[in-house]
Structure 1
Amino acid sequence: MPRLPVSLLLSARCRARAWLGLLLCSVLCVGRASADPLPRGEISGTVEHGGRGGRSMDYRAWIPPDVEPSMRVPMLVGLHGRSRHIDRYGFHFLEIGRHAPTGTPVIVLAPRIDWDAPWIETQRLLFLAMARIVEQYAVDESRVAILGFSMGASSALNLARHNPRRFSAVWAASGLFPDVAVQALKRRTARVLLSWSGTEGQCRRTVEVAREIDRGRGLARAVVFVGGRHEPHLDMFRDEALLRWFVGPPSELSGADSPGGG
């Protein structure tokens, strides 16, 4: 049997190695492409601080399932009230994300707040939960809003007051509107949305406070429900014009220069 020239044998071996390399590369690429991506829709988790004996905070979040993973979207962080409102409205804020208008998708973070814990520790856990979502998903850090209902309303206003670089907007509903926070927000550029569901007098006062904060700047609004029950009325965020105004336009700011950056 005639022997093939050495040059032909070498070229055949090179071609075989090349084909083997391409095959291996294709297998690896397919494996990476088929790997499970980060979960979307409703997710849950827990953040901890202080190690053994420290504190923890459970949370749920809504991640829009129908947007490109690289598309940066606003994030809303909702604080529930206490007592009966914890079970009834603890994770109710996720409904904003589920029913957000198609043109304005939002990520929603709903932590379970322990109102009896020291607030400084609760705030630290809240920021840890926010940081986890920001690290895992494409959050537009220039559009992070804090929301609060009932007892959570005053906490949301004070968080916006003390963290102007972290929160670009605040919604406070049917709770205390601390004067110190109102006075601070009059000097800020954060969007402020106040809401009340109750007596005519309470609703009128809510509108007055919003006007006091706004002072003709177009940065504060009020939505009231005269005679309504003590509920958050999250359906208001299905109004695309209102939601777009609240989260604001995309910004070129990012990282430490954005409200979400600290």
Structure 2
Amino acid sequence: MAARFAALQREGRGALVTYLQAYDPDRETSLAILRGLPEAGADVIEIGVPFTDPMADGPSIQRAALRALKAGATLAGVLGMVREFRAGDAATPVVLMGYYNPIFAYGVARFCADAAAAGVDGLIVVDVPPEEADEIEPHAKAAGLDLIRLVAPTTDEARLPRVLAATSGFVYYVSITGITGTRSATREALAAAIPRIRRHTGLPLAIGFGIRTPQQAAEAARLADGAVVGTALVDTLAASLDEQGRARPDTSRQVLDQVRGLALAVRGARQAG
């Protein structure tokens, strides 16, 4: 993770961080998209671990999780997808994003060891705050996994250092108060928030929640070190499915074409800015 962000800094550009829900709408399609993301321009890949109660996520990702679970997704199956991806790509950082319940059921120490062995680089566990970090942090650290924290607009000056002290890899700035994919932050709000966080950390900073268009991604890449795009890609995938919710022949292509457009905007952001 650190090597990828350092390389991008040397190139003078921000990162495009893309999200997909594993097994959505089926394992084969999501694996095809996963394998195509680096060539399409994704610098870091977040893979959503399907869960029945994804409380930080909006309706689009909730529906994606239900499609994935219906397709047979399990935590072990997601790790298997990462192993298959790693057979053809050893360089692109992979982050698993999800919730604590499936990890707890799997066994925390076993999960961290298996995730690292599969080729996972980092974890975002949405519902484990710093106060409960000892549930997973020692095991993640022992396995060499970055534990990436979410910082929100409501994270105040007193709490910010505590959250950031428990963070590695990069900081994920949740640009809105609310769930994923519902609205977008203003440029003015982001321009005020990013320097405040930078005063407390030297880690790369990526902006997510509400980044939908190439223009918004470019703006995030100018203000911070990366833009995270998730719901917009999930929506494109969902719109491509047939009446029974199955992938069509061009489902993967539609999502990857969208990633190419986002990547082009992110790569030109600082030159244009």
The reply to whether TM is greater than 0.5 is no
Higher helix proportion (structure 1 or 2): 2
Greater share of residues in strand: 1
The higher-RCO structure (CA 8 Å, 6+ apart) is: 2
Higher radius of gyration, 1 or 2: 1
